[in-house]
């Protein structure tokens, strides 16, 4: 450190890489002193003239303000206020074109000066050494001072740094061509600049303060050396004239031989740099109490008749400066804010001066020619040789054109100071600096978007975590917490575990436990299988029993039919009886679907009948059977007196019913055989029966049949008092019903025959007695008998046809 200090005091400088020597053109403006311009008609004061956030607006439209009155107040980090440059009326607060190559609108306060130039109350400090560190920093902060030679970094932030500062450097190099604002300021106000430097020295307490001035400013060197001769810690160092020696990192290298690390700041290596104009503004704020409302601006160029440096109020339109200095524009005139190397062409001259404006250049076409069309890179490496930051401009330009932002950052794009040396030496006239500026803006926007997305994700994760926690708390709110176990209970549990562990050491006990577990599992599996597999043995037994009953019933039915067919009867009578039985069976089967036919237990008659009477009896029986079938269509006849069940008829009952049917058939056949001799012995009447009597007999038979049908319709011939079920009759019951119907038909035929015979010995029926009384006993002749037989056959045929239609 001591060796370095000795070298610095001896005037040793260390060169930096790269650099160029463009024409200086400073003699146009440094020959005259700084002049003060008349008040402009309008002041457009932008609220943001520095790096950082805007301040909070304190005025409103139509309000009168005084010179030096604060228009905004600091509202966030790196926020400094702006002040009214002159007294007047606030005519508008609106977005106005900004001092930027894009001229994007920025919120500005428009003031119309009243010409009085009336100051606000000032608070000057005569002895700043009595101020504390915080008080001095606050004065600098409230004065709105920011860097006036570079990007506009707030001065109070640098003044309040917590890092130790070894070297405080004053950047008075002013290396860019045409600009002489700092040069004339040091020549005319060197004492004020040194006072401002001493105030910063009071705040930072550096080991050495170095004022760096290029060797092309001899008058400024003399003035500054004389002003600082009373302070041993301040030295004025002359540096060679080379561009860009005024760059912050390059000047540090020149004066201290220290290099600022990539992506670092000078404070990281114990160095802090301030501009000449900034130190003058600090002195004005403390000693005069004046805020930063004006600065020195160089107005020069071949189109300016009176080039020089002027005191310009902040917010003064550039057009006002040009007009005051004798501006004579040429066709396609360019106006540049800044120098020819780092400045930018303004889209309009209706833009107000800001704190970082140090030069307004209005060149003609010969002085600053328009750049030609961009050509292909010839890879001459001139840009790399001229770069003071030791970068690869050609490579950066390729990455910038292809928007490979990651590679740009890998190649240290942000170490570029945008000095323009690479573009100045490029033979292909490639605007390299423009590519870098655009790429930097896009990368910053991308990083800002990423920061916003990360913050949004953090908020989302925090909210999700909070919601999950609240949901878990709601779920656990009503859960019963287990009671804490006492020491005795814990000891009991430990003892039990110890006993289990001791038992597990015995092999027999292990096997016993395993056997018990196996038995329990087997029992569980058995119970599960029992539950899963139902017992169907009873259903299978019932199904087998029904099959066996059906088989036996089929055999019995076939036997019954054979026995009924083999009964000995007379050919004629058996034919009549068979026809009657078939008709009645068919009608009974149709009328009694789902029911059981009624068995009429009428007394049996053994009286023999002749052919004529048999035909009449057959006709009467058919009529009665027809009426009875019609009357019983809506009724439910009952077979037995006992209540009927839904269970099928078993084999034993079917066998008994078949036996009864066979016995009755045999009895009827025997009665017919025994009755034939009696009929032949009985005296026959020979009186012929005429047509009238035959008609009377037929009418009587029809009346009796009709009377019997009406009696069946009005009554419910239910033999059983029990309620009848509506269950359908199966095949077995139908067979029994058919056999009973055949038996009844035979009995009815015999009863009718007995009723027609006047001398029948077993005639006990009242109905047959009435027939005897009404029908004459005389026999008919053969002609009438033939007619009656034909009528009977026709009626029987008709009844059979109706039965077939109904079935």
The CATH number assigned to the domain holding 396 equals 1.10.1060.10
Quick one: pLDDT at residue 255?
94
| Residue 159, C-beta contacts closer than 8 angstroms, at least 6 positions apart | 136, 137, 140, 200, 203, 204
Quick one: pLDDT at residue 715?
41
**pTM for this prediction:** 0.60
Residue 662's pLDDT band, with cuts at 50, 70 and 90, is confident
What average pLDDT does the segment 476-488 reach? 72
What average pLDDT does the segment 771-785 reach? 46
Quick one: pLDDT at residue 505?
61
* φ and ψ of 481, to 5 deg: -80, 135
Contact 344, 103 (CB under 8 A): no
Q: Which of 408, 442, 469 is the last residue of a domain?
A: 469
Is residue 529 one of the residues assigned to a domain?
no
Nearest residue to 564 via CA among 665, 642, 653: 665
Residue 425's pLDDT band, with cuts at 50, 70 and 90, is very high
Residues 575 and 671 both lie in one domain: yes
Q: Which of 263, 289, 315 is the last residue of a domain?
A: 289
How many separate helices (H) and strands (E) can be counted in the chain?
24, 16
* Domain ranges, residue 668: 569-639+648-711+725-806
Residues 376 and 252 both lie in one domain: no
| Helix (H) / strand (E) containing 297 | strand 294-300
Give the lowest-confidence range in 129-143, 551-565, 607-621, 708-722: 708-722
| Residue 500, C-beta contacts closer than 8 angstroms, at least 6 positions apart | none
Please confirm whether the linkage preceding 406 is cis (ω < 30° from 0).
no
Is residue 508 one of the residues assigned to a domain?
no
What average pLDDT does the segment 399-403 reach? 92
Ligand-binding annotation for 422, yes or no, is: yes
Please give the Cα distance from 276 to 197 (Å, whole number): 9
Nearest residue to 50 via CA among 17, 98, 121: 98
| Domain count along the chain | 3
Q: What is the mean pLDDT of the chain?
A: 78
Quick one: pLDDT at residue 426?
94
Q: pLDDT by residue (tens digit) across 706-747? A: 665 555 544 443 333 333 333 334 455 555 666 676 766 666
What average pLDDT does the segment 55-78 reach? 92
* 132 pLDDT above the threshold of 50: yes
Ligand-binding annotation for 383, yes or no, is: yes
Quick one: pLDDT at residue 577?
67
Is residue 559 one of the residues assigned to a domain?
no
Q: pLDDT by residue (tens digit) across 239-254? A: 999 999 999 999 999 9
Helix, strand or coil for residue 355? coil
Q: At 204, which CATH number?
A: 3.40.50.11540
Is residue 506 one of the residues assigned to a domain?
no
Is residue 716 one of the residues assigned to a domain?
no
Is residue 8 one of the residues assigned to a domain?
yes
Ligand-binding annotation for 377, yes or no, is: yes
Residues 663 and 784 both lie in one domain: yes
State the Rg of the chain over Cα.
69
Distance of CA 633 to the CA centre of its chain: 72
Ligand-binding annotation for 387, yes or no, is: yes
Residues 282 and 379 both lie in one domain: no
Is residue 546 one of the residues assigned to a domain?
no
Nearest residue to 356 via CA among 426, 287, 267, 296: 296
Ligand-binding annotation for 426, yes or no, is: yes
More confidently predicted of 42 and 614: 42
Ligand-binding annotation for 380, yes or no, is: yes
Quick one: pLDDT at residue 642?
34
| Residue 118, C-beta contacts closer than 8 angstroms, at least 6 positions apart | 66, 67, 87
Greatest mean pLDDT among 146-155, 358-367, 573-582, 616-625 lies in 358-367
Q: Which two tokens stand for residue 184?
A: 């004339």
Q: Which of 426, 448, 469 is the last residue of a domain?
A: 469
Is residue 407 one of the residues assigned to a domain?
yes
Residues 600 and 452 both lie in one domain: no
Q: Supply the DSSP symbol for 284.
A: I
Please give the Cα distance from 634 to 433 (Å, whole number): 116
More confidently predicted of 764 and 542: 542
Quick one: pLDDT at residue 54?
85
Is the Cα dihedral 770, 775, 776, 779 positive or negative? negative
Cα–Cα distance list, 414 to 101, 258, 399, 417 (Å): 19, 19, 14, 8
Residues 748 and 604 both lie in one domain: yes
300: buried, middle or exposed (CB in 10 Å: 19+, 13-18, 0-12)?
Answer: buried
Ligand-binding annotation for 419, yes or no, is: yes
Cα–Cα distance list, 98 to 119, 315, 328, 337, 776 (Å): 27, 11, 24, 12, 149
Residues 253 and 378 both lie in one domain: no
Contact 422, 432 (CB under 8 A): yes
């Amino acid at each position: 450190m001591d060796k370095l200090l000795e070298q610095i005091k001896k005037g040793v400088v260390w060169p930096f890489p790269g650099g160029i020597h463009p024409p200086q053109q400073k003699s146009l403006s440094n020959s005259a002193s700084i002049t003060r311009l008349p008040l402009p008609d309008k002041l457009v004061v932008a609220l943001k003239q520095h790096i950082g956030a805007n301040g909070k607006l304190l005025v409103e439209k139509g309000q009168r303000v005084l010179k030096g009155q604060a228009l905004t107040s600091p509202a966030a980090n790196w926020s400094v206020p702006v002040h009214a440059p002159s007294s007047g009326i606030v005519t508008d607060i609106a977005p106005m074109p900004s001092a930027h190559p894009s001229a994007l609108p920025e919120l500005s306060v428009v003031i119309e000066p009243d010409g009085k130039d009336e100051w606000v109350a000032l608070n000057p400090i005569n002895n700043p050494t009595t101020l504390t560190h915080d008080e001095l920093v606050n004065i600098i902060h409230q004065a709105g001072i920011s860097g006036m030679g570079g990007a506009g970094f707030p001065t109070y932030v640098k003044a309040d740094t917590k890092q130790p500062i070894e070297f405080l450097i004053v950047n008075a190099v002013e290396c860019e061509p045409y600009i002489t604002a700092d040069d004339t300021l040091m020549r005319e106000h060197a004492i004020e600049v040194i006072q401002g430097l001493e105030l910063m020295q009071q705040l930072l307490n550096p080991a050495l303060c170095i004022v760096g001035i290029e060797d092309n400013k001899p008058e400024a060197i003399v003035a500054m050396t004389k002003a600082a001769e009373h302070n041993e810690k301040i030295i004025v160092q002359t540096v060679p004239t080379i561009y860009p020696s005024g760059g912050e990192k390059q000047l540090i290298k020149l004066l201290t031989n220290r290099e600022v690390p990539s992506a670092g700041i000078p404070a990281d290596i114990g160095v802090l740099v301030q501009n000449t104009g900034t130190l003058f503004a600090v002195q004005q704020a403390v000693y005069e109490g004046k805020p930063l409302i004006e600065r020195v601006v160089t107005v020069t160029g071949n189109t300016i008749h009176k080039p020089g440096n002027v005191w310009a109020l902040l917010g003064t339109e550039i057009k006002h400066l040009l007009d005051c200095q004798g501006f004579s524009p040429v066709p396609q005139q360019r106006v540049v804010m800044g120098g020819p190397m780092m400045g930018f062409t303004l889209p309009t001259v209706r833009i107000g001066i800001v704190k970082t404006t140090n030069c307004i250049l209005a060149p003609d076409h010969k002085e600053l020619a328009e750049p030609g069309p961009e050509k292909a890179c010839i890879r001459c490496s001139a840009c790399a040789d001229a770069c003071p930051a030791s970068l690869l401009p050609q490579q950066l330009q390729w990455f910038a054109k292809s928007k490979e932002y990651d590679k740009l950052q890998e190649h240290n794009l942000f170490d570029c100071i945008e000095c323009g040396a690479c573009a100045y030496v490029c033979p292909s006239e490639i605007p390299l600096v423009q590519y870098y500026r655009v790429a930097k803006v896009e990368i910053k926007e991308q990083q800002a978007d990423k920061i916003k997305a990360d913050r949004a994700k953090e908020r989302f994760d925090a909210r999700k975590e909070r919601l999950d926690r609240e949901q878990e708390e709601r779920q656990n709110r009503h859960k019963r917490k287990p009671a804490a176990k006492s020491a005795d209970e814990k000891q009991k549990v430990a003892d039990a575990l110890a006993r289990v562990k001791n038992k597990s050491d015995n092999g027999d006990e292990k096997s016993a436990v395993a056997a018990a577990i196996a038995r329990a599992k087997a029992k569980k599996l058995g119970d599960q299988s029992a539950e899963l597999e139902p017992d169907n043995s009873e259903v299978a037994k019932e199904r087998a029993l029904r099959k066996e009953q059906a088989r036996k019933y089929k055999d019995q039915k076939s036997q019954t039919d054979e026995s009924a067919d083999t009964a000995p009867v007379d050919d004629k009578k058996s034919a009549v009886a068979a026809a009657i039985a078939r008709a009645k069976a068919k009608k009974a089967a149709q009328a009694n679907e789902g029911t059981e036919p009624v068995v009429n237990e009428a007394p049996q008659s053994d009286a023999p009948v002749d052919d004529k009477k048999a035909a009449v009896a057959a006709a009467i029986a058919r009529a009665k059977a027809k009426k009875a079938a019609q009357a019983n269509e809506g009724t439910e006849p009952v077979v037995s007196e006992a209540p009927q069940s839904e269970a099928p008829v078993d084999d034993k009952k079917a066998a008994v019913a078949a036996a009864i049917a066979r016995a009755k058939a045999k009895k009827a056949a025997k009665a017919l055989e025994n009755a034939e001799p009696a009929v032949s012995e009985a005296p026959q009447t020979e009186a012929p029966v005429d047509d009238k009597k035959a008609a009377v007999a037929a009418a009587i038979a029809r009346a009796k049949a009709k009377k019997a049908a009406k009696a069946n319709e009005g009554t419910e011939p239910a033999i059983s008092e029990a309620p009848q079920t509506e269950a359908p009759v199966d095949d077995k019951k139908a067979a029994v019903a058919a056999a009973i119907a055949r038996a009844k038909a035979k009995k009815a035929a015999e009863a009718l025959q007995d009723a027609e015979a006047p001398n029948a010995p077993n005639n006990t029926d009242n109905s047959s007695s009435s027939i005897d009384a009404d029908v004459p006993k005389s026999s008919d002749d053969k002609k009438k008998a033939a007619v009656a037989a034909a009528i009977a056959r026709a009626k029987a045929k008709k009844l059979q046809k109706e039965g077939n239609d109904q079935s």
